[in-house]
């Protein structure tokens, strides 16, 4: 016959009080396989990089030239704007200083 031992309920209502938790034992850790060497990890990493690069959709030359030209134009416009603001602020500071 199996007798059921009454278990105190925890405050959260889980049914596992201090007594029940004290009776639980952790399973012993099993010895896992040794960690792979540095060279094996590097080989695995490079193999995965090549695999992922094959899945990349590269832009066509026309898309690359278009994107590059947009970036160059925006950089030139920002440079002109910041140069103009710098010129105005420099003249304003010269006016204040005298």
Backbone φ and ψ for 69, nearest 5 degrees, come out as -65, -35
At 24, the pLDDT band (50, 70, 90 cuts) reads: low
Does residue 21 carry a pLDDT above 60? no
SS3 82: helix
Least confident of 5-9, 68-72, 92-96: 5-9
> Taking CA 57 as the corner, what is the angle to CA 53 and CA 59, rounded to the nearest 5 degrees?
120
Mean pLDDT, residues 24-51: 82
Does residue 23 carry a pLDDT above 90? no
The per-residue pLDDT for range 54-63, each reduced to its tens digit, is 999 999 999 9
The per-residue pLDDT for range 66-91, each reduced to its tens digit, is 999 999 999 999 999 999 999 999 99
Does residue 22 carry a pLDDT above 80? no
């Amino acid at each position: 016959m199996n007798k059921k031992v009454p278990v105190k309920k925890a405050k959260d209502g889980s049914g596992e009080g201090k007594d029940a938790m004290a009776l639980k034992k952790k399973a012993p850790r099993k010895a896992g396989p040794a960690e792979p060497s540095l060279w094996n990890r590097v080989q695995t990493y490079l193999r995965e990089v090549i695999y992922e690069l094959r899945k990349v959709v590269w832009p066509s030359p026309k898309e690359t030239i278009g994107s590059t030209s947009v970036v160059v134009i925006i950089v030139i416009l920002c440079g002109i704007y910041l140069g103009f603001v710098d010129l105005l602020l420099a003249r304003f500071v010269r006016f204040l200083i005298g």
